[in-house]
Structure 1
């Protein structure tokens, strides 16, 4: 059996990117494995990343996780970008998993950050193991 390739696909952090992520969720609603809201801190400010993980198509071994990384301030009340994502998930009857993670700025490389997040997700059984 081929091992499962789990990879983050990064979108931007603006409104257009949030709408793109929401549209990906709507179009792929039957493929959604989980949705995530990650929070992280940098210089005493909190930021949110939002993501959806999609199940592989047919017998493909690719497990994509689309993400808008750390562009949303975590404020009370929530920003419009976060509310847009939450409304989309509500419409799809999906409850997002909320996790605190390290901010990507503490990693020397963005790929190391994504390996760290994949490790956190696997350890918490939120995405499938490699095989």
Structure 2
């Protein structure tokens, strides 16, 4: 059975470059890239994430690296970090999937939020089902 788990890198400030490096050095393993949009009051916050296939045929671990809700989107000014993520993914021939999800502050624990997002991804066939 494949275990899918989020690994939080940060909120998408300087840690976004760590995500880019993971994408570049493991480009052959990228399963999908994601943009999770959520409302925090009047603000739209964006999380960026990338899932990777297991490292070996014997491995049963599918990591999903995420920079959670640190990118604020406004209609009048696009976010440079968001644009960099889209550009970097496209340079690797990956088209990020954009989904609206609930904001993590609605969950009493971050782990429950991640279980919810994994459920949304599975329901939309954006992660393989449990076997």
Indicate if the aligned counterparts of 1:39 and 1:74 stay in contact, CA closer than 8 A. Answer: no
Report the TM-score, using the length of structure 2 for normalisation. Answer: 0.95
Deviation of 1:48 after TM superposition, in Å, equals 0.3
Segments of 4+ moved more than 3 angstroms = none
Aligned 1:1-131 pairs, distance under 5 A: 3-58=1-56, 59-76=58-75, 77-131=77-131
SS at match of 2:15: helix
Indicate if the aligned counterparts of 2:12 and 2:68 stay in contact, CA closer than 8 A. Answer: no
Count of aligned pairs between the two proteins:
129
Structure 2: give runs of 5+ residues left out of the alignment. none
Structure 1: give runs of 5+ residues left out of the alignment. none
CA-atom RMSD, angstroms? Answer: 1.0
Report the TM-score, using the length of structure 1 for normalisation. Answer: 0.95
